[in-house]
Every structure is written in C-alpha cells, then in structure tokens.
C-alpha cells in the first residue's frame, strides 16, 4: 500500500485498527512512519511533519544514530520544521549516540537563528557530549561569538573541560589541546 495511505490512517487515528496482515506488520509500519518523520525533518517537509503532529506521532523517536527529528531539522537548517516540532512537544534536549544535542548541531552548521530558538528551551547549557564537549565549546571553536555570549548569559560554564582539557575559554583564545 502507498505511504500516503498509512499517513492518512495515522492522521485519522486508525493506525491501531488497520489490519496488518494485508500489507505489513505493525513494526514495519512504525519503521516506515519513523523514516517519514526523519526524512521530513531532514528535508524540511512541513506538510508531512504537520500530518504526523496531527496524528500525535512520537516526535522523539530516534534513528540508528540517535538522531531525532529536532536534531535533523536543526542540523539541516529548517527553522520552520524546528519550530513546529518544538511547539508540538518534541524534546530539544535529547542527545544522539555521540551525546550531541540539536543545539550543538545548529552551532556547528552555523544555523544561528535555530540555535537561538534552541537556547530558549529548558535544556542545560552545560550538557556534554561523549567527548565532554559542550555547546559553548562548539560556539568557541566555530567562532559563533554571539551565541557564545548568549550561552554565557544563560549560565554556561566557560571553564568546563572536555576529555582533552579544552574549555570554551581556551578555544576562544585559539588554544586547542589534543591536536597533533
């Protein structure tokens, strides 16, 4: 059956009563809907995102890398998709398998508008990734000075260090530890 049929079923709230023996198992349907969400976030397809939101789909589902729709939309620069997801209750604080947040991805990619929106969320600004790096370290390393100032104003610790001894303060000065 076509994807639009499954989305229509989801939108109408009928997913739980669609007979799975005719096309796919419930797990296969869920996997396909998860993929629609992630692809819509990656591509900024707000129509699909709106449909999944209206169908009360789980917006925090993570792919094999731990990416959520918010992480994908932020990283790919889709501010409207980020806003829709956050307004619908998606959690901007979820970390991927490397421990990175949507805010870290937005800072890395230079998506300042999206990063500012994510800064307004109630996430801890000092949440580290698996290497101990924080959003402030990303802002320092990639010279996002305006975001670094906003992180500092939000209470980010400029002296927290990663596994190599780097801090937001040292990175801002151009000192990078652990590099050959």
Average pLDDT of the chain, as a whole number = 89
Highest mean pLDDT among 13-17, 19-23, 43-47: 43-47
Higher pLDDT, 3 or 139: 139
The CATH architecture assigned to 3-123 reads Alpha Horseshoe (1.25)
Torsion-angle region of residue 143: left (phi > 0), alpha (psi -120 to 50) or beta?
A: left
Examine the pLDDT at 45 and tell me if it is beyond 60: yes
Higher pLDDT, 34 or 17: 34
- Sketch the domain layout of the chain as residue ranges: 3-123, 125-180
Predicted local distance difference test score (pLDDT) of residue 154: 94
Examine the pLDDT at 3 and tell me if it is beyond 80: no
The CATH architecture assigned to 125-180 reads Alpha Horseshoe (1.25)
pLDDT digits (tens, 9 = 90+) for 78-136: 999 999 999 999 999 999 999 999 999 999 999 999 999 999 999 999 999 999 999 99
Predicted local distance difference test score (pLDDT) of residue 153: 95
Examine the pLDDT at 17 and tell me if it is beyond 50: no
Predicted local distance difference test score (pLDDT) of residue 39: 97
Domains 3-123 and 125-180 share a fold: yes
């Amino acid at each position: 059956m076509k994807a639009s049929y499954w989305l229509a079923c989801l939108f109408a709230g009928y997913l739980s009563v669609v007979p799975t023996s005719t096309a796919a198992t419930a797990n296969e349907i869920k996997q396909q809907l998860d993929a629609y969400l992630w692809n819509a976030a990656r591509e900024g397809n707000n129509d699909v995102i709106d449909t999944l939101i209206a169908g009360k789909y789980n917006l925090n589902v993570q792919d094999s890398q731990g990416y959520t729709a918010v992480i994908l939309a932020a990283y790919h620069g889709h501010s409207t998709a980020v806003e829709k997801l956050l307004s619908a209750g998606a959690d901007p604080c979820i970390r991927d398998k490397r421990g990175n947040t949507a805010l870290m991805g937005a800072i890395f990619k230079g998506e300042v508008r999206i990063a500012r929106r994510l800064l307004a969320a109630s996430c801890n600004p000092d949440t580290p990734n698996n290497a101990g790096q924080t959003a402030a370290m990303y802002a320092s390393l990639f010279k996002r000075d305006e975001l670094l100032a906003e992180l500092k104003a939000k209470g980010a610790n400029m002296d927290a260090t990663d596994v190599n001894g780097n801090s937001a303060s040292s990175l801002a000065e151009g000192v990078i530890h652990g590099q050959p």
